[in-house]
Amino acid sequence: MVVSSFWGCDNQGPDSDKPVNNNPPKVEETKLPQKTIPPKITQEFTLDDLTGKVSLKENKQFIKIAGKHASKNGMYMRAEAYDSFVSMFDAAQKEGVNLKIVSATRPFGHQKSIWEAKWNGSRKVDGKDLSKTIKDPKTRALKILEYSSMPGTSRHHWGTDIDLNNLNNDYFEKGEGAKVYAWLTKNAAKYGFCQPYSPKGKERPHGYEEEKWHWSYTPISKQLTYLYKEKIKDGSIAGFKGAETAMEIGVLEKFVLGISKDCN
Ligand SMILES: [Zn+2]
């Protein structure tokens, strides 16, 4: 399926990321940032959908990813996002590019186990036990936030976001990985996928470090990003070690919304 009816995530030209506006411009409208224009909400999403409190086996909107598309069994995606991924996978394969999903939907509990393992030092970060090397909670949270989301704030909760092939940027710099990344940057938008964590800099000053492996199905994830901003507050992020730092860090503004303009 080729997605063409949604604006954004479309690298056809310098202005193609701007929403189509058929109304004559009004002075006050031009002052509004682009992302305040709400996407069309195509279905009902609950707070639990936004924060990953979902049972993947029971929720009919999620579908199991087939073995040939994934590095391991038992992963799930939203059906529509997976459908489009399969079209992208087939097109890539015809051009000699092999896409492999290495991580897909991760509910709250899964993200909590990743976060707390890094928080309490049972999983090393840059070879270090952060519970020993960083005592200040905010500083420790920010270190983990370079690449991992706080539970309740991850795009991996949504069923729209996937990690492809390899979790190191270096892999995508040369050889097979460079071929995969070049194909994705050229073609993923045709299937509705964008790279939320583009290089940090002027265009994307806040949020996670660049992730060349993380791709998002925008026809749904743009809706969820918008709803997240509308319905969730930093103060409601809770239920894991270090959650009290969310407000001080401004996790919603800096991390959930700190994404590439292609995905907004
Ligand atoms: Zn990811």
CATH number at residue 77: 3.30.1380.10
Residue 17 lies in a domain: no
- At 216 the three-state DSSP class reads strand
Residue 136 lies in a domain: yes
Ligand 1 centroid from CA 213, angstroms = 7
Ligand 1 centroid from CA 148, angstroms = 8
Q: CA of 203: how far to CAs of 7, 31, 65, 194, 197, in Å?
A: 18, 18, 33, 15, 11
Ligand 1 centroid from CA 44, angstroms = 24
Per-residue pLDDT of the chain (264 residues; tens, 9 = 90+): 444 433 334 344 444 454 555 565 555 555 555 556 899 999 999 999 999 999 999 999 999 999 999 999 999 999 999 999 999 999 999 999 999 999 999 999 999 999 999 999 999 999 999 999 999 999 999 999 999 999 999 999 999 999 999 999 999 999 999 999 999 999 999 999 999 999 999 999 999 999 999 999 999 999 999 999 999 999 999 999 999 999 999 999 999 999 999 999
Q: Tell me how far apart the alpha carbons of residues 156 and 65 are, in angstroms, rounded to a whole number.
A: 15
pLDDT at res. 22: 57
Domain count, the chain: 1
pLDDT at res. 34: 53
Q: Tell me how far apart the alpha carbons of residues 122 and 55 are, in angstroms, rounded to a whole number.
A: 26
Residue 20 lies in a domain: no
Ligand 1 centroid from CA 214, angstroms = 5
Residue 212 lies in a domain: yes
Q: 72 CB contacts (<8 Å, ≥6 apart)? A: 102
pLDDT at res. 10: 39
Radius of gyration of the chain (CA): 18
Ligand 1 centroid from CA 162, angstroms = 6
| Domain span including residue 98 | 27-263
Ligand 1 centroid from CA 196, angstroms = 9
Residue 235 lies in a domain: yes
Residue 11 lies in a domain: no
Ligand 1 centroid from CA 211, angstroms = 7
Those residues whose beta carbon sits under 5 angstroms from the ion ligand 1 are 163, 214
